[in-house]
Amino acid sequence: MKNDPKKLLRYTPFERASHWLTGITFILLALSGLGFFHPFFYPLCQLFGGGTWTRILHPFIGVVMAVSFGVEFFNYRQLNVMTPSDWEWLKHIREMVAGDDRNMPEAGKFNAGQKLLFWLLAICMALLILSGIVMWRAYFSFLFPVALIRFASVVHAVAATIIIALIIFHIYASIWTKESIRAMLYGQVRRAWAKQHHPAWFREMTRGEK
């Protein structure tokens, strides 16, 4: 597959690979974690070879996700710094949700919604990693007092619920905004798409042309 010179590079191969590694591990973690979340979801453990295998695998998959999310975090953290224009964007969020983006302040590579999502995901991930270590009975729980393990169990469940909700939102936003899944799959976007959804980034990328 040759790169189309007229298209704009939005995500490098490395960024795509780390995004999908995070994505795949997230799905596996959500499914296996839900298995222990409520009895209603316990049958999901069968996808991983039963309850015991799910208990064994979940934290190890978590380690992989912690690393790949960590890579993404350090890669994207500067691009996600909120600017005054972003806060203005959030004030117009209702119009955006209603499908009218004419009055939205111009978004850069990431719009304010994506940036906010980024920081919320980072907070949830930090909480999940820390509480997950405390809950990891096979290797770490014996290091901690039971009161802390109880607290970590609550934190893990709450952060997991929030991150699943955020990812539902993230996946839906990518379905709703046409061609954005292609962008993360193949890396490139059409100029029209860039101008529509990320005008400031579009200008930055095409500066000096035409």
Partner 1 sequence: MALQTLDIIRRSATTTPSPGQRQTQEVVKLIDVSKCIGCKACQVTCMEWNDTRDAIGTNHGIYDNPTDLTENSWTVMRYAEVKTDRGLEWLIRKDGCMHCADPGCLKACPAPGAIVQYSNGIVDFHEENCIGCGYCITGCPFNIPRLSKKDSKVYKCTLCSDRVAVGLEPACAKTCPTGAIVFGTKEDMLFHAEERIADLKSRGFDKAGIYNPQRVGGTHVIYVLQHADKPEIYDGLPKDPGISPQVSLWKGAAKPLASIALGLGILGAFIHYVTMGPNEVSEEIEKEFKDEK
Closer residue to partner 1 in complex, CB, 21/96: 96
In angstroms, rounded to a whole number, what is the distance separating the alpha carbons of residues 15 and 5?
Answer: 20
- Measured CA angle at 70 (ends 151, 91), to 5 deg: 80
Two tokens at 1?
Answer: 């597959």
| Torsion on CA atoms 67, 25, 117, 178, rounded to nearest 10 | 130
Strands (E), 44-164: none
Nearer CB in complex with partner 1: 45/128? 45
Cβ at position 197, least distance to partner 1 in Å: 8
Comparing CB distances to partner 1, the nearer of 18 and 28 is 28
Identify the active-site residue in 19, 58, 170, 197. 170
Q: Rounded to whole angstroms, what are the CA distances from 37 to 29, 45, 121, 158, 208?
A: 12, 11, 20, 10, 54
CA distance 37 to 140: 21
Q: Residues in the site for partner 1, rule: CB under 8 A? A: 6, 35-42, 45, 50-52, 54-56, 97-99, 101, 135, 137-138, 141, 146-147, 149-151, 153-154, 157, 161, 164-165, 168-169, 172, 175-179, 190-193, 195-197
Give catalytic status of residue 170 as yes or no.
yes
Of residues 1 and 146, the one with the C-beta less far from partner 1: 146
To partner 1, the closest distance from the beta carbon of 177 in angstroms equals 4
Q: Would you state the torsion angle of the CA atoms of residues 75, 59, 164, 201, taken in this order, to the nearest 10 degrees?
A: 10
* Nearest-approach distance from CB 109 to partner 1, in angstroms: 17
Q: How far is the CB of 7 from partner 1 (least distance, A)?
A: 8
Nearest to 113 by CA among 185, 198, 40, 55: 198
Residues identified as active-site: 170
